[in-house]
Amino acid sequence: MRIPADEVNSTIHNAQRKETYTVWGIPPDHVVERIKKIIEALRAEFGGPEIEPHITVVGSVLLNHDYVIKQFINGCQNIEPYTCKVDQVVTRKFYYQPVSLLIHPCQWVGHFGGYLHRCNAHMPHLSLLYGNLTEEERKRALEKVTELDDSIASLKFTMSRLVLYKTHNEARDQHSWEKVMEYNLRPRNQL
C-alpha cells in the first residue's frame, strides 16, 4: 500500500515544525505560598492575569518537539537540586516582568545544551506581576512588594523541580500554555 505524498509531506512538516518552549523551575510549596500572597496583592491593585509562581530558567526558544524533549531530559539528568537565591527585586518595561525577583545565576545553565546558549543573556527571574505598567505604577508596585514581605529580597531555597512548557506568547497569560513534562531533580548518588 502506498501512502499519499501529501500525507508523507504533512508528517515530515509536523516532525520539523518548530514551536516555542520554556523551562521553568518550580519553587517548593512553602515558597510558592509565600510568593502567591505577593502576586495576588499586586494583581488586586494593578490588574493583570493570574500567575503561577515559577522561575524562568530558559526563556522562549523556538525548537522542534523531539529535540527539546531530548535536551530537557539530558539537561535535567545532569543537574542536582540547587540553591536559588534572590539577588534583588526589580522593575522592567517588559509585559512579563514589570516587577520580578532576579535569581542569582547558577552553574547548571550549560546543562540545557545548545538551545540555552542562544539565550545566554537571559537572567533567571520570578515574575510577580504581568502587565504594561507605567514607570510610576512599577515604582508603586515595587514599594508594595517590600511592604508585603520585607525579606523577599533575601529569599533562599532549594530548587528540585523543573518543568518544560510549550508557550504561546501571543496569549498574554499562562492559561494557554501547555505543560509538556516535569522532572524532579535528584542528587547524583540517587540516580
- Length of the chain (residues): 191
The domain limits of the chain are 19-190
Question: Hey, which residues does 178 pair with through a beta bridge?
Answer: 166
Measured in degrees and rounded to the nearest 5, phi and psi for residue 80 equal: -95, 165
Strands ordered across the beta sheet of 125-129: 156-159, 82-91, 99-103, 125-129, 55-64, 18-25, 161-166, 178-184
Cell, residue 171: 496569549
CATH of domain 19-190: 3.90.1140.10
Annotated catalytic residue within 13, 30, 54, 104 = 54
Helix or strand run (H / E) with residue 31: helix 29-46
154 versus 7: which is more confidently predicted?
A: 154
Q: Pick the residue with more confidence: 152 or 121?
A: 152
pLDDT at 184: 95
Catalytic-labelled residue, pool 30, 125, 168, 175:
125
pLDDT tens track for 47-70? 999 989 999 888 778 888 899 899
Answer yes or no: 104 catalytic.
no
30 is catalytic: no
- Whole-prediction pTM: 0.80
Q: Among residues of the chain, what percentage have pLDDT more than 90?
A: 48
